[in-house]
Amino acid sequence: MKVPSDESCQTQAFPKEILWFCQLFGGFPLKYSSDTNGTKRLRFSPAVFLWGLVVVIVQTVVLMTWLGMIYKHALLSQNVALVSNTTLMAVTMDVFSLTLMIVVVFTSYVRKYPNIINCAELLEKVDRNLSHKMHGLKTRLWILLISLFTVTMLAYSAITEYKRPLFAEIKVLQLFKSIICHFPILNVYCTQAALFFHFTYITDSIAKTFQINNARIKQEVTRRSLVYQSLSSEGKKQEPSTTQLKVLIDNYWLLCDAVCQANSFYCDQMLVTIFSSFFHITVALYYLIVHINLGDIKFIANDGAWGVVYICHLILLIRPSSEVTASADETAPMICQLINMTPDPAIKRQVKSFLLQVPNHNARFSALGFFDLRNDILTSMAGAVTTYVVIMFQFQSQNHT
């Protein structure tokens, strides 16, 4: 009799839509390929690496050239007094933060790809243990929605950007040039979207798997307690098997290891991404207030929309990593409640041993150790953004005087 292969129940940590998008725009140098047993595994792809290297070099050169062109026209223009230092500072922060982000993200892909491969394999193993499928139609719709929204926003910006006071004064952009210049910007934002896709997907998968595993642990302990009570009432000394509970506890350790591997891969990428988002939110809110005072409706709509996009991007980026920590932290209190309810001594011994080891495992994401990726960081960033917007207006007032 032929034994069914493990491939029929195989799960993949990354859906192909996310992997293709990240390869195309982010240079994510991994792809699924079959090993000698016919099992599909993540492997390093030299072809995707070379493609990503070319894209990063072109993006960096174009962004630096664009910034140099703005400075050249601004400094050589006869109306240079009309171009404030605050405006040039805002443009410089914008370009440098984007350039730093794409370089650091691609460098992390190349240096740390074994970490994300290990994380993916751990998640796939836990999903096989739980018989849980990781992704479906919702993932495809999410990718399509964000991609269309990004393209629409950038197309609108390309049409209106050339009329901004900075570019009108130094005559660096006309409509056609503005549209052409926004193609590299579109690629850069797609790179950021690619990082957003696979980071939030991995963290959301880990959080949901923690929740499923917690529910299974609760069900298994309850079932084992009922079986023990039934055997005790019948006068039998046999203890129920502890194998399934051991598998679920092992799943918890595997998920903690997956968080550790994912955090090692993403920590520096999250630092530069949050750094870039911080500057973009600050600049967008600054220009929004400026154009509200000037009464420029089209720029109010443009800057307001981009401000909302940047804020939503940051919230959606932080939310799943915060849920990972919350889901992992729910396990120990839940087991403490269950241990007082079960009469089975075998269960008590097993979960007590588990509780002693929990403090040694840290299921948290951080930005290179500077701060944890939790919801409370959003409050701190809101205060910092407000402070820097006020500082930019003070610089603007000094320029006018």
Whether the CB-CB separation of 272 and 280 falls below 8 Å is answered with no
Mean pLDDT of 90-102: 83
Model pLDDT for residues 306-363, shown as the tens digit of each residue: 888 888 888 888 988 898 999 988 888 888 887 777 777 777 787 788 888 887 778 8
Mean pLDDT of the chain: 77
Distance, in Å, from the CA atom of 374 to the CA atom of 30, rounded to the nearest integer, reads: 28
Mean pLDDT of 83-102: 78
Q: How many CB atoms lie within 10 A of CB 276?
A: 24
Give strand pairing partners of 32: 42
261 by Cβ neighbours in 10 Å (0-12 / 13-18 / 19+) ranks as buried
Whether the CB-CB separation of 177 and 66 falls below 8 Å is answered with no
Distance, in Å, from the CA atom of 354 to the CA atom of 251, rounded to the nearest integer, reads: 12
95 or 170: which carries more pLDDT confidence? Answer: 95
270: pLDDT strictly greater than 80: yes
- Residue 113 tokens read as 């790809």
In 114-224, beta strands by DSSP E:
none
In 19-143, beta strands by DSSP E:
30-34, 40-44
Q: Which residue has the tokens 């900075």?
A: 166
Distance, in Å, from the CA atom of 264 to the CA atom of 269, rounded to the nearest integer, reads: 10
Whether the CB-CB separation of 53 and 106 falls below 8 Å is answered with yes
Distance, in Å, from the CA atom of 63 to the CA atom of 188, rounded to the nearest integer, reads: 9
Distance, in Å, from the CA atom of 20 to the CA atom of 336, rounded to the nearest integer, reads: 44
Mean pLDDT of 18-35: 83
Q: Which of 159-173, 233-247, 293-307, 377-391 has the lowest mean pLDDT?
A: 159-173
* pLDDT band per the 50, 70, 90 thresholds, residue 80: very low
* pLDDT band per the 50, 70, 90 thresholds, residue 35: confident
* SS3 category, 311: helix
**Dihedral angle sign, alpha carbons of residues 163, 164, 170, 173:** negative
150 or 109: which carries more pLDDT confidence? Answer: 109
Q: Residue 168 corresponds to which amino acid?
A: A
Whether the CB-CB separation of 90 and 262 falls below 8 Å is answered with no
Sequence ranges of the domains in the chain:
13-79+89-234+247-400
Mean pLDDT of 264-277: 91
* pLDDT band per the 50, 70, 90 thresholds, residue 162: very low
94: pLDDT strictly greater than 70: yes
